[in-house]
Structure 1
Amino acid sequence: MKQLFSIFFIALFAFAGAQDKDSKETANRFFYELTFKPKKDSAKLEKVMTILDIVKDRSIYRDYTMVAQDSILKVQVEAMQKSGVYKDMSKSMKMPKFSEKIAKTYPDMKIQYIERIVNGMSPIGIGYNETIKFDWKISNEKEKIGSYNAQKATAEYGGRKWTAWFSTDLPFQDGSYKFSGLPGLIVKIEDDGKNYSWVLQGNKKVSNWEELSYGEKISNINLKVTEMPRSKFEKTFNDFKKDPFASIRPMITQEMMSKSIPGMDGTIGDMMKKQEKMYKDFFNANDNPIELTQSSSDKK
């Protein structure tokens, strides 16, 4: 993911600050425009930019929306630290369309699927692991996708039929989302119903790459993930989507709920209601999942 996180809680934790450190890793960042149908019974399409960051021994796929706003967020947080006044950043920050983060390790291509949930006053990571052996059928058909010479391949996954175009000009056996295993980077992939379509738009080198964005660091997110079987993950995450603040509510008294926050409109209770609505609106915006079914190994 890029993980969905609460701008409100970023504000609360902002005064702890983020520790910047130099990283020696350099990433190859690939930008994929994702065109998708959020509602299965609607013809409406939406678009979002996603990224695949490839470093020496792994790759990270996520929504680019929050990563792209890191510099803006840093300026606003530093201004809050200097003034000592909170600011409702939800008014100026654009929220992502997708919250998951997908990590693949090389060379075994083991996948770790990660979501962030709220546990008490802290965001935590939950996830599941899987290794997918895509049964690609490589065709002799070739096509130019952007500036790349690409070749066609097809496979079935998650209850959908997928057509991929890969390019050996880019020597990475990887792709957007969970897709991998072709003799070159996947530069385009879509299902036969065009519910989801990723197209490579460009790439660049990112020096001093770090897995955590600035926003994740100041909201006390770390890289530790509680791993569980996929079935337990689905239940835990679905419970969170139904009631995002279930673990917080018992910890906050009525007195705390009635307190106002300097620089923000309303009380802590008002802000919680607003954030809860943001979470629920986010999760209810898409009822057309990428994966319609799970493999038998996923259900363990």
Structure 2
Amino acid sequence: MKKLFSILLIGLFTFGMAQDSKDAKETANRFFYELTFKPKKDSAKIEKVLTALDIVKDRSVYRDYTVIGQDSIIKVQVEAMQKSGVFKDMSKSIRMPKFSAKIVKHYPDMKIQYIERISSGFTTMAIAYNETPKFNWKILNEKEKIGAYNAQKATTEFGGRKWTAWFSTDLPFQDGPYKFSGLPGLIVKIEDEAKDYSWILQGNKKVPNWEELSFGEKISGMSLKVTEMPREKFEKTFNEFKKDPFATVRPMLTQDMMSKTIPGMDGTVGDMLKKQEKMYKDFFNSNDNPIEPPYQKLDVGQVEKVGKEKN
């Protein structure tokens, strides 16, 4: 039961960032990007979230900064619960991230590992697909000052959108937020033509003794191997999880377990499960305007049709 409580209380807030930790401590260059985005296609509502790109010797890691930023809060609350033996509803003090995915770019080939986490019984597992996108950048002569950096304009098409980027050779990293990379300097600003998604660099710092896993991720059993699969299977698996986040947990819970109360909390295990399930579904349903369209595998007929249309 104690393990179950940990999954319900902590797992929700760290469910997008699983990967094995490395023993060797490194110093990371952390770049903070403010992401402004439109979560609903037919709404004028705009949201903002702080994201982070951590660059170390052999890779970069891009993710929502929310979990990292409130790691100390999680640590204090968990240690207090461990000391008192009384569980506390952390949902009242912990914010949900806006994005659950973690994107790792491996240097020098810039192979991308796109990672999400799903539940599997009373444990969690990280699933991922790999790709090496080829950005056909068109570098233009136009230059502009973006924040503190001298930047140059470039354009490309990716994920069904037209993108305009500004990169700076003042920052000698051929990287950027999300999956973007391949320019002769760090991308300091990038947005699509419709302005549904826009990233702009807000600051940076050195992070000594950098670790990929946060405290919250570690205590929720996050030192897991990533299960890699073709993108088509990845999206099918993740979509099934989004429709019913606790499908693999529910059959393992007896009626007696569901009716037990949780010390320090209002309600039973069943009540908590319903609450967590609603939070998951609200999170996944909050965005119907993805950066990229769902992956679609073309059959032979579709390929022939596309070829004729291009001709």
| Global fold match (TM > 0.5) | yes
Does residue 1:218 correspond to 2:219, yes or no?
yes
| Unaligned ranges ≥5, structure 2 | 1-5, 13-20, 299-311
Task: Indicate the larger mover: 55-64 or 221-230.
Answer: 221-230
Distance 1:277 1:295, change over 3 A: closer
Runs in 1 of length 4+ with deviation above 4 angstroms? 20-23, 293-297
Q: Is the 2:231–2:295 Cα contact (8 Å) retained in structure 1? A: no
CA distance in 2, matches of 1:88, 1:211: 26
Does residue 1:227 correspond to 2:228, yes or no?
yes
Aligned to 1:199: 200
1:106-158 CA distance string (max 9 Å, x none): 00000000000011011110000000110000000000000000000000000
CA distance in 1, matches of 2:88, 2:175: 40
Aligned to 1:17: none
Aligned to 1:84: 85
CA distance in 2, matches of 1:142, 1:21: 40
1:81 partner amino acid:
Q
1:142 partner amino acid:
K
Q: Is the 1:23–1:209 Cα contact (8 Å) retained in structure 2? A: no
Map 1:1-300; keep pairs closer than 5 Å. 8-10=9-11, 23-292=24-293, 294=295
Distance 1:7 1:169, change over 3 A: farther
Distance 1:198 1:229, change over 3 A: same
Note the C-alpha offset of 1:8: 1.6
CA distance in 2, matches of 1:169, 1:7: 45
* SS at 1:186 equivalent: strand
2:79 partner amino acid:
E
CA distance in 2, matches of 1:158, 1:256: 45
Distance 1:239 1:150, change over 3 A: same
CA distance in 2, matches of 1:147, 1:218: 39
Distance 1:130 1:21, change over 3 A: closer
Q: Is the 1:174–1:185 Cα contact (8 Å) retained in structure 2? A: yes
* SS at 1:26 equivalent: strand
2:179 partner amino acid:
K
Distance 1:22 1:234, change over 3 A: closer
| Unaligned ranges ≥5, structure 1 | 12-19
CA distance in 2, matches of 1:116, 1:83: 30
* SS at 2:156 equivalent: strand
CA distance in 2, matches of 1:203, 1:55: 14
Q: Is the 1:173–1:185 Cα contact (8 Å) retained in structure 2? A: yes
CA distance in 2, matches of 1:86, 1:226: 31
